[in-house]
Amino acid sequence: MKVRFNEDPEIVNTVKAGLERTGGYCPCRLERSEDTKCVCREFREQIRDPEFEGYCHCLLYYKEK
């Protein structure tokens, strides 16, 4: 299992700028809670799932099997 940044640098730069603007919370979500703090709870759960392969909600990270 490997987690990496999205291969598109424009997406990575856009999401990172959003994270700076929101204080580390997912810029794609309205709610600000520990569940939406990057790396969000949704993606942490997906990382633990051995069958999951794909992007996190905001497309910043990609989990490979």
Tokens 């633990």 -> residue: 48
- pLDDT tens-digit map of 8-47: 999 999 999 999 999 999 998 999 999 999 999 999 999 9
Residues 6+ apart with CB under 8 A from 37: 24, 25, 26
Number of domains in the chain: 1
Identify which of 30, 6, 2, 31 has the alpha carbon closest to the alpha carbon of residue 16.
Answer: 6
pLDDT level of residue 2 (50, 70, 90 thresholds): very high
Reported pTM: 0.90
Are 44 and 36 contacting, i.e. CB atoms less than 8 angstroms apart?
no
What's the alpha-carbon Rg for the chain, to the nearest Å?
A: 12
